[in-house]
């Protein structure tokens, strides 16, 4: 096993961790989690690879899923574990994943909001249920291939910080992690760039070193799209949730086959004929089944209400706090002021107008590279 890489990459990655712990690594079969397992093994930790079977791949063999955790991915994870000479087990998380991620995903679209299943998966599956399984085998820490960093502040509290590779940073999806969860988690890739991770994997002889990444929702079939998941789970006959497409004045412009097929900011799939101006979805009403469209200016908002707000430090600010806010995972941070409200809610006022603020998505708060926490954009 190689312990050195050009530029001392492994030494740099190892600097934050002591050696000799039993660490359960969530191995998805991709290059990131595989490299995380390799780094921890090279640092002298007692590594156990745990892969999660999230859904029944065989039952939908004629409709391949769009992301991770496929049968091939689980096989890749086993091969990497064999190469690293670490024990590997597959956990059947299908029922848990269905209850914690797929059901809320479906409820979200049926309620006219845009869910964020990756946040739910991290919060309720990877850093909760998976963590419980890891503890059951005596693991002191869990590790994942997320691009994020954990530091300890002067007050002894754990801090979630952006990854060195900002293009790959995944703290947006981790904003609900608590002090207890951060205290028992490791992110070995936080100080590495994606090219460095691939180089490490290649040097270690891992067959996934150049494996292609997927940016799709893992349980959504590529051929069918998420609408098929909603119909199947909710027992909806195709077309039974059809309705009108209207403009902001209420004028009927066309029809649709199901309001749950539309999200705020969407432009494609609108059957409304030719128009001199591009039209976007600006509202989805599950009660009237109307989808409202309008110009891009109709999407602009400078404030929102967030609910179920979590502050990673554990303390809610006593008053307004200046932050940088992000309302989509791949959107840039924007200066904002957060006004804490009662019942775990907050009013967030941005320094500029934003487009595509969608109820159901997360709004995450930062101060430079420090992730303070966040909440869920409410439907007002």
Q: Give the active site residues.
A: 121, 218
Where are any strands of DSSP class E within the chain? 22-26, 46-53, 88-92, 141-143, 148-152, 158-162, 185-186, 243-247, 252-256, 280-285, 290-294, 301-311, 321-326, 334-340, 346-354, 362-367, 370-377
Question: Distance between CA atoms of 285 and 369, rounded to whole angstroms?
Answer: 37
Question: Distance between CA atoms of 248 and 261, rounded to whole angstroms?
Answer: 19
Q: What is the DSSP letter of 13?
A: H
Query: What SS3 state is found at 363?
Result: strand
The string over 305-320, giving b where at least 16 C-beta atoms fall within 10 Å of a residue's C-beta and e elsewhere, is: bbeebbbbbeeebeee
Question: Distance between CA atoms of 11 and 21, rounded to whole angstroms?
Answer: 18
**Sign of the CA dihedral 262, 266, 269, 273?**
positive
Q: What is the DSSP letter of 140?
A: S
Residues across the chain: 380
**Phi, psi (rounded to 5 degrees) for 244:** -100, 150
Cα–Cα distance list, 99 to 54, 96, 104, 210, 356 (Å): 11, 5, 8, 33, 28
Question: Distance between CA atoms of 97 and 52, rounded to whole angstroms?
Answer: 10
Closest of 299, 302, 375, 298 to residue 334, by C-alpha:
302
**Could you give the strand order of the β-sheet that contains 46-53, starting from the edge strand earlier in sequence?**
88-92, 46-53, 22-26, 141-143, 185-186
**Residue 26 near residue 144, CB atoms below 8 Å:** yes
What are 271's two structure tokens?
């059957």
């Amino acid at each position: 096993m190689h312990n050195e890489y050009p530029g001392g990459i492994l030494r740099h990655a190892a600097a934050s961790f002591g050696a000799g712990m039993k660490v359960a690594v969530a191995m998805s079969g991709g290059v990131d989690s595989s490299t995380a397992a390799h780094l921890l093994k090279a640092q002298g930790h007692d590594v156990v690879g745990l892969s999660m079977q999230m859904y029944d791949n065989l039952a939908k063999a004629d409709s391949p899923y769009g992301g991770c955790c496929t049968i091939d991915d689980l096989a890749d994870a086993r091969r990497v574990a064999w190469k690293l000479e670490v024990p590997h087990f597959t956990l059947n998380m299908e029922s848990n994943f269905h209850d914690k991620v797929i059901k809320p995903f479906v409820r979200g679209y049926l309620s006219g909001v845009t869910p964020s299943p990756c946040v739910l998966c991290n919060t309720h599956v990877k850093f909760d249920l998976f963590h419980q399984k890891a503890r059951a085998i005596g693991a002191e820490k869990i590790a994942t291939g997320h691009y994020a960093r954990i530091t300890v502040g002067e007050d002894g509290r754990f801090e979630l910080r952006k990854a060195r590779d900002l293009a790959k940073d995944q703290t947006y999806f981790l904003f609900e992690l608590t002090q207890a969860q951060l205290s028992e988690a490791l992110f070995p890739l936080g100080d590495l760039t994606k090219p460095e991770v691939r180089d490490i994997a290649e040097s270690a002889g891992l067959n996934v070193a150049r494996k292609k990444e997927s940016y799709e929702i893992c349980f959504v079939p590529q051929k069918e799209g998420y609408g098929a998941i909603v119909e199947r789970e909710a027992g909806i006959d195709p077309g039974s949730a059809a309705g009108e497409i209207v403009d902001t004045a209420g004028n009927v412009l066309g029809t649709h086959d199901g309001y749950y097929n539309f999200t705020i900011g969407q432009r494609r799939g609108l059957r409304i004929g030719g128009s001199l101006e591009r039209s976007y979805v600006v509202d989805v009403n599950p009660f009237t089944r109307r989808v409202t469209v309008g110009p891009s200016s109709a999407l602009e908002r400078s404030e929102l209400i967030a609910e179920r707000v979590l502050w990673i430090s554990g303390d809610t600010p006593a008053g307004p706090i200046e932050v940088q806010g992000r309302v989509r995972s791949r959107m840039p941070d924007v200066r904002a002021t957060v006004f804490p409200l009662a019942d775990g809610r907050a009013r967030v006022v941005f320094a500029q107008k934003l487009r595509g603020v969608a109820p159901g998505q997360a709004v995450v708060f930062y101060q430079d590279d420090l992730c303070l926490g966040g909440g869920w954009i409410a439907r007002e």
